[in-house]
Chains A and B, each alone.
Chain A
């Protein structure tokens, strides 16, 4: 897809560079040197990443990043509904990641879905003597108390790696003893520079321990696909999956939102992988392409323009039947989406947005805002890599500011100068900007709303953005006296 270069009135390369300089003034020299390469004006013509990324977080700077454990538990493994996910180590990590990412699940809690917190609750003696024996006991107890669980993941927290426990060997022995997949995931929080490594490590464990261990019982068809990198935040999978089915595809597995481990294990039999969150799952799509020859396609299901483009791009991979179905679906939904736009666009036209999220949202949601007549004036990621910024550049207007692992201090400076009408970021940023009197939406979690994906999601997205910006409560921020 080629993109026309978008411009925003009043934003030039020079104005953005000056703004970045002003934001960096307060840093000590070393800190300034480290941060400068992570901030830049967008250059859509360069076809490259305009900022450095995936580097260590600068100490003492208020970063929004998480850790490898957070990426493994919160993002990749946690949403698999029919497994127990054991946070192996002290109580905190599991407790903090318990129910806080909104990856919704089907099934019965404690029976067939396990949206709970399982932990080995390390004490000092476990640090001194090691936790391997405790882990084995714990796994037996888990098997007995949750007989319908289809597997157990063991996600190691910092101490496990530091004291040199061997969870891999315990998992191997216990898998045999319990006749159940026990998957060891060495995702200690100190590894790497952000949650991104946790995604990678988790995918490697799925590659090494899960995939190819199951076979679908139903016959294969040319329309078998897997939905990769959708975590069912606020029910996103439940919006995308029916749409894919409506155009005639069989969604054999979802990775990992509302996921089932056995279906994930049989994904090597699908014909195409449809990937949504490139950052968290591109490794697995590549593995499946290399190993099983399964092609993959990146799609964007935010807002009618991108959904339309995506569905047509998808149809190209299939026969006329799917192509026709796609056109039928577009013809059916376009008027509905136009009605949403007609309702909200007049109230949102020309409003400016700043994005700062993770995964795919800093680029994928741009089109949805534009469908509502809004302009994205800044974007960036907590834990992206170069290829994310390459993909972001064409979506963003020329010379708008791009920030990688932005500190809260930098974001505040940019907001001061750009005066956006909405900031779309995470929980740690939310109340900072609201105190400034700025409308805000949490874009990691859809602010306890959703889904935002696909045709079911866009009306909700539009309503939420409108209600954030046009809430009458903003009128009371300044007192009359």
Chain B
């Protein structure tokens, strides 16, 4: 008998319609929710991915830097496709294409051959190597491998190669971002510290932020403040390059010299404390200028904090143009508060984004109700709780750390909200719950140009208010009965 599982041969049995109906109702119940939350081993629809993807994003932020995946070919294809789909832009990266023999003999030969080919074909100014699972498990020693590559002449002695260990069975994409950024900066700044030199610039780190509009917005703010900026890992051009008939392999990124000179910067500021924890700790130790870590500037108060910090660090007043912008954002919020005040939201995403969403919603009088992170920490939970506690609109908020989007679905069905904020992967849960999904964060595969609209700064406030409130107005128009269908809303 062909049945190797030892099961009986049975007739093909379709699922009865009433059984399908019973289960489809059952999965929306409290009883199901309890079973769902009792899960110990199975993860369903997580809202995070593995470290190397983040490492690749960081590598793309430097001019002429070629991301190099040390591991199986398939990993590289997955990271590239994901970035392609989110940005609708090219994401050039190579890999060492390890296979069975790599598992047995180690990946040094693959890495060496790969470095040599990549250097010849794609003429990078720097290569950023990061690992996927396989070399991490077999214990490949990147330090030695890269030293040997230089000795054997696969790459020139002085060619910059940064490398980071980014095992996929640990942390998430934000940790890979941190590890790669740290390595690149360590590499580029080595020996560049000059006693008494000051670039006069702010070194700015946005962290794992896949919104090119945010990057442009930061730059605009610095310009308005008259503060020169060295953006560390600037993907704004890399993933938003012009269509003009020429394909550029490296269309943007922070200049390598500028990044190296960042060690002589006047100040270093990160707005992604969770996605740059190690990098920033290292900078504190090694960069002589002043340092500041702020939360991602979503909402008015956090943008205010950013401007005041910049003002403090550089001794410059906030200019009238930004004051006027602030006023316009507050005007937009007040004009539209009635459409969002008291509305309940469920949120999920990366830690730095989540605290931003909560902060913004509270400022609008909206209620952050279910707050979920599929790769969170106690520290994040506490920070969000403190935010909730500080506002009357935060009283009902509940925090779920290390829960996934199938848990979230149970929450939406048993304890409903008015809308969801998160990435594209939440669309099935939103549909089942009959509520809109506001696509902020990463990845967004199913809407165009989302990454071009800034969510940070005062302009970000206006954008979020516009998108959310107009959607609620649309829903009223689409669902109200005829006698309530009015010209004005």
Contact = CB atoms under 8 A, between A and B. Distances in A.
B248 interface: yes
Contact of B243 (A144, A183, A435): A435
Contacts of A60: 68, 94-96, 113-119, 121
A223 to B, nearest CB: 18
Interface in A389-411: 407-409
A176 B6 contact: yes
Contact of A192 (B1, B99, B110): B99
B46 A409 contact: no
Given A59-B110, A431-B90, A437 B81 contact: no
B137 A119 contact: no
A283 interface: no
Contacts of A213: 2-3, 5, 7, 9-10
Interface in A55-71: 56-70
A197 to B, nearest CB: 10
A212 B243 contact: no
Contacts of A96: 49, 78-79, 81-82
Interface in A407-434: 407-409, 412, 427-428, 430-434
Nearest to A435: B247
A172 B24 contact: no
Contact of A67 (B5, B73, B103, B115): B73
Given A117-B45, A142-B42, A147-B23, A97 B78 contact: yes
Contacts of A328: none
Contacts of B282: none
B36 interface: yes
Interface string A269-306: 00000000000000000000000000000000000000
A265 B110 CA distance: 41
Nearest to B245: A437
B267 to A, nearest CB: 35
B143 interface: no
Nearest to B48: A91
B3 A212 contact: yes
Contact of A209 (B4, B32, B36, B78): B4
A318 interface: no
Most chain B Cβ neighbours within 10 Å, of A123, A159, A171, A211: A159
A158 interface: yes
Contacts of B9: 212-215
Size category of the B interface is 35 or more
B27 interface: yes
Interface residues of A, number: 112
B475 interface: no
A134 interface: yes
B84 A430 contact: yes
Interface stretch (B168-176, B192-200, B218-226, B452-460): B168-176
B116 A31 contact: yes
B97 interface: yes
Given A117-B45, A431-B84, A477 B12 contact: no
Interface stretch (A22-30, A41-49, A365-373, A462-470): A22-30
Contacts of B49: 91-92, 95-96
B111 A59 contact: yes
Interface in A89-110: 89-93, 95-100, 108-110
Contacts of B396: none
Interface string B241-254: 10111111000000
A431 B86 CA distance: 12
A141 B34 CA distance: 12
A82 B98 CA distance: 34
A68 B98 CA distance: 12
Most chain B Cβ neighbours within 10 Å, of A100, A141, A212: A141
B5 A63 contact: no
A189 B247 contact: no
Contact of A57 (B13, B97, B246): B97
B50 interface: yes
Interface in A171-220: 171-172, 175-176, 179, 181-183, 189-195, 207-209, 211-217
Contacts of B36: 145
A412 to B, nearest CB: 7
B74 A111 contact: no
A419 to B, nearest CB: 13
A309 interface: no
A63 B117 contact: no
A112 B13 CA distance: 13
A194 B121 contact: no
A145 to B, nearest CB: 6
A167 to B, nearest CB: 13
Contact of B428 (A109, A182, A434, A435): A109
A111 B27 contact: yes
Interface string B421-435: 000010010001000
Contacts of A145: 32, 35-36, 39, 42
B203 to A, nearest CB: 30
Nearest to A64: B77
A175 B6 contact: yes
Nearest to B27: A110
B413 to A, nearest CB: 11
A266 B169 CA distance: 38
Interface string A140-154: 011011011000000
A171 B137 contact: no
B75 interface: yes
A392 B441 CA distance: 43
Interface in B112-136: 113-122, 132-134
B11 A477 contact: no
B74 A67 contact: yes
Contacts of A18: none
Contacts of B248: 435
Contact of A116 (B3, B27, B45): B45
Contact of A117 (B44, B77, B132): B44
Most chain A Cβ neighbours within 10 Å, of B12, B23, B43: B12
Interface string B311-336: 00000000000000000000000000
B102 interface: yes
B5 A431 contact: no
Contacts of B72: 67, 158, 189-190
A148 B23 contact: yes
Nearest to A136: B41
A162 B138 contact: yes
Contact of A59 (B79, B97, B246): B97
Most chain B Cβ neighbours within 10 Å, of A27, A67, A138, A477: A67
Contact of A110 (B12, B94, B409): B409
A436 interface: yes
A437 B246 CA distance: 7
B5 A62 contact: no
A115 B170 CA distance: 25
B137 A127 contact: yes
A332 interface: no
Contacts of B122: 62, 409
A432 B92 CA distance: 9
16 contacts: A27-B117, A30-B113, A56-B99, A58-B113, A59-B95, A59-B114, A65-B74, A95-B50, A98-B425, A111-B27, A118-B44, A189-B72, A189-B73, A189-B75, A217-B13, A428-B80
**Top-4 shortest CB links A-B:** A67-B74, A92-B50, A60-B114, A60-B117
Given A28-B117, A407-B121, 19 more contacts: A60-B95, A60-B113, A63-B76, A67-B75, A70-B77, A82-B15, A91-B49, A98-B45, A109-B432, A110-B406, A117-B46, A119-B43, A162-B137, A172-B4, A172-B5, A190-B98, A428-B77, A428-B84, A478-B244
Interface of A: 26-28, 30-31, 56-70, 82, 86, 89-93, 95-100, 108-112, 115-124, 126-127, 134-135, 137-138, 141-142, 144-145, 147-148, 157-159, 161-163, 171-172, 175-176, 179, 181-183, 189-195, 207-209, 211-217, 262-263, 265-266, 407-409, 412, 427-428, 430-437, 477-479
